[in-house]
Structures are given as C-alpha cells and as structure tokens.
Amino acid sequence: MTSAQDPLDGAATSRALRVETHGLDVIADAERRGTPRTLFWPWFGANVSVLGLSYGAFAFGFGISFPQALAAGTLGIVASFLLCGFIAVAGKRGSAPTMVLSRAAYGVRGNRLPSAVSWVLTVGWETVLTALATMATATVFRRLGWGGGTRTEVLGLLVVAALTVVGGVMGFDLIMRLQTWITLVTGVLTIVYIALVADRIEWSRVDAVPAGSAQEFIGALVFMMTGFGLGWVNAAADYSRYLPRGSSSRGVIGWTAFGASLAPLVLLVFGLLLAGSSEDLSKAVAADPIGALTTILPTWFLVPFAVVAVLGLVGGAVLDIYSSGLALLSAGLRVPRYLAALFDGVLMTAGAVYIVFFADDFLGQFMGFLTTLGVPIAAWAGVMLADLALRRRDYDETDLYRPHGRYGDVPFLPLCLTLAATAVGWGLVTNSAASWLTWQGYLLEPFGLGGRTGAWAYANLGVLAALALAFLGTLLLGRGRVRDQEDRTPGPARQEEARHA
C-alpha cells in the first residue's frame, strides 16, 4: 500500500497505486471527488517546463519588439488557456473524456475524424517534449565532460520515454501524484535558474530591439496560442471529468486557465529578456531550445537544471500520452486504455529518435507542426465551444455511446463546417521552413493578402479564421439540432437513475 496526499480530495489516503482501468467510460459519481482548485496541479505541472523560456526567442523570431512580444505572448497564453477552461466545463457536466464529449457535437462515429486529428496532435507534442528532454540531457552531460554523444542521447531518450510511458499507462492517480511533485520541484529549481542568470539581462539591448508590423505581431500571437492552449484544448476535459457534477463552472474555468497560464507567463517574460539581451542565445535556442539555456549557467547548477528540464518536459508529455491514448480509443481502436497509451509510447519514441538523430532544423519543423495541426484543432474547438454555449442541460451519457441515440451517428453540419474551416485555414497559413508544407497559403493571393511572400504570409491568420468560422457557423446553424437533442427523453441509464433518485 502507498500512503499519499490525494490532490483531489486533500485528505490522506492509503491506496494501492494501480493501472487505471477507465477508458472511454463515464466516471461514476462515487469516484468523483475534489474541487475545481485541484485542477491547478496537473495544469501547472504540465506547463512549468523551462521550454517556456525558449518561447521568448521564438517570439523575437517574428521580428517584433519586446513590448510587442510581451503583449502577443500574454494575450496568446491567457486566451488559449481560457478556451481550455471553457471546454473543461464539459468534463464535469459529462464525466467522460474530451473526445467522447465531442460526440454530442459530431455524432458517435462522425467524431472519429476530430479524434484522429487530436490523436496526431497529442502524439506529436509528446514526441517533441521527449526529444527536447533528450537533447537537454545530452547538452548538460557534454558541458560537464561526461560524454554527451550518441550513447548519452540514447540513454537519456530511454529514461525520458520510460518515465512518460509508465505515467501514461498507469493513468490518472499516478499522474495526479506525479504532477504535484513535479510542480514543487520544477517550480523551486526554475526560480533558482532565474536568479542565477538574471545578471545576463541587458535592458538597453532589449529596449533596442526594433518593432515589427501588425502582421508580424499577429503571427507571434497565433504562434503563442498554438504553442500553449490550442495544444491542450483537445484534452481539456480529461481531468475535470473526475470532479463532482455540482462543481462550480466558473471555478473549473478559472483554475484551469490560472494553473496552465501562470508558469508560462512568468517564463515568457524572463525568456524575452534573455533572448533580447543576446542574439547568439536567441539563435542557439532555435537549434536546441532547452540545451541552449545551459550555456549561461554556472557548472555547479547543470545537474539541477537537467532535473528541472527533464521533469518539466516529462510532466507535459505524461498528460499528452494519457490523452493521446483516450483519443486513439475514441477514433475507433478497440483495446484497453493502457495498451493504447503503450502503443503511443512506441510511436513517441520512434518520433523522438528521428528528431534527435536525423532532423537538422528543429524550429522550422516545430512551427510547421504547430500551425498545420493548429488549424483543424482550432476548427474543432470552435464547433465544441459553440455547441457547449448552446446547451442548457448536462449530456445524456448513454447516448454518447449509441450511434442511434440523440447525438446521431455521422451528422452533416459539424463535419462540413470543420472541413470547410480547415480548408480556409490552411489556405491562410504558410510554412516555408518545412518543405513538406509549402502547399499551404493557397488563399493568400486570391484574398488580396500578398500571396505566399507578402506581408500577411506569416501572420498565421488561418488558425484564427478556422476558430471563428467553425464557432460562428455552429452558433448560427446548430441551434435547432441542439434543441432537438435536449428535447428528447433521457436514455435508459438516465431513466434508471431517475427511478432511484
């Protein structure tokens, strides 16, 4: 037996740590506990990674000044995590994973399309985080003179992948306990890092960074949104589903957004100051976003830095692999949740091997990945947010699993809206740094935005367009469908509950 402080109910528990058996099923009321503030721990722990410092260099890469980058980063982080907070409300209203609750909008089998996109996005993110942790470990070992070559990278990859896969396979209880400790350890060590390198900041150089255009500002803003909240929005209800139904919706929104935004905001500000003070550091971050940050550290803190870097990245990867397993099940794979997570872990490891040992342009591929998948995920988020806004009742949990229930099987409207919004979105983004994505941007010339080389080419308007089109389209055209769903009699399970109430 393992005695631990349960982050969900705040009381000491004595419970054997075991593999979570829940998959796509609804969480029973007896297992739902805690308050919205307990959502702070998983969201803070997943976003306290020192990768947040590197976003300062990423933002300056758009050619904007410090005030512009600060504004773009703040707006992008807060707004995108507020979207996560709104969708997290669906979790406590429906007790099921995010991509199961999405069936209310997309139909039971129609939802397989956004589930597949969600799966690709979460597997991509866990792969990126694992690769970054591996590269950071190798850089630290190299600076210490302990190797740092291929053997070190292989060993680091195996350790990081093992930690991530074990967390994802074990499931919710272990993740919640891990995130509490990751939050505490990484929070303290990150503060120490900031104190140690604070003298590297040169205010005059930061202030001298020239301002950019409105298009460049918008590009940085959208990049921040896709790099933070839009990378999590498809998993936003996976943890709130364990809260009691009567939990405050405002509390769910607030604690999710606050927990997820707090660390990135602090890290972004300091990352901007560091990157603005050193052009060399800013360029180095593009090749090795975490490892480059070690070059300004005293030798004695390199090992603690490796700990904070690896733990912070693992904290995010663990949540991703858990949610990617759920998304894969929702896409139609019929296996236990832990096997889906294990399968994703194999793909994650293979992808990390490619990034660490074969890819030669991390930032270009990373930005291409974020903006390309950010478009369909933004479209899905638009549909989901509008669908939530239209609903006045909790979900009928039985019908979420019945193709012939109130939510339908493959409804025409949400799928067409998502595909149309994605098509428009991809036509308004460009990714010249990633050769496999040069086909995008096909609407920039017809819309009078200067084509693929014009001023609007890197503004990433497609992400915002997809979000807005899907949201407004669902709000205007989906009202009747939602009302029809809610006017129907409850499914069999709800009728049984009513007889026992």
Q: What are the average pLDDT values for consecutive 10-residue runs of the chain, which has 501 residues?
A: 37 53 76 88 83 91 96 97 96 90 95 93 89 85 80 86 83 72 81 90 94 95 94 90 91 96 94 93 83 86 85 82 87 85 90 83 72 92 97 91 93 96 96 78 95 91 97 96 88 42 32
CA–CA distances in Å: residue 218 to residues 210, 270, 442, 447, 457: 16, 21, 19, 17, 11
Please state the domain count of the chain: 1
Supply the pLDDT for residue 17: 65
Which residues lie below 8 Å from residue 91, measured CB to CB, with a gap of 6+? Answer: 98, 101, 236, 237, 238, 239, 240, 241, 242, 243, 252
- Residue 5 domain-assigned (yes or no): no
Q: Report yes or no: 44 and 260 within 8 Å, Cβ to Cβ.
A: yes
Supply the pLDDT for residue 305: 84
**Tokens 């180095």 identify what position?**
284
Say how far apart CA 408 and CA 394 lie, in whole Å. Answer: 17
- Residue 183 domain-assigned (yes or no): yes
Nearest to 40 by CA among 188, 184, 245: 184
Supply the pLDDT for residue 295: 84
Go through 428-453 and write b for each residue having 16 or more CB atoms within 10 A of its CB, e for each that does not: bbbbbebeebeebbebbeeeebebbe
Q: Report yes or no: 328 and 174 within 8 Å, Cβ to Cβ.
A: no
Supply the pLDDT for residue 363: 63
Helix (H, G, I), strand (E, B) or coil at 142: helix
- Residue 455 domain-assigned (yes or no): yes
- Residue 479 domain-assigned (yes or no): yes
- Residue 420 domain-assigned (yes or no): yes
- Residue 298 domain-assigned (yes or no): yes
**What's this model's pTM, rounded to 2 decimal places?**
0.85
The DSSP symbol for 440 reads: -
Q: What is the largest CA-CA distance in the chain?
A: 71
- Tally helices (H) and strands (E) across the chain: 19, 2
**What sign does the CA torsion over 160, 161, 166, 172 have?**
positive
- Residue 496 domain-assigned (yes or no): no
CATH number at residue 448: 1.10.4160.10
- Residue 376 domain-assigned (yes or no): yes
Which residues lie below 8 Å from residue 258, measured CB to CB, with a gap of 6+? Answer: 40
Domain containing residue 460: 33-486
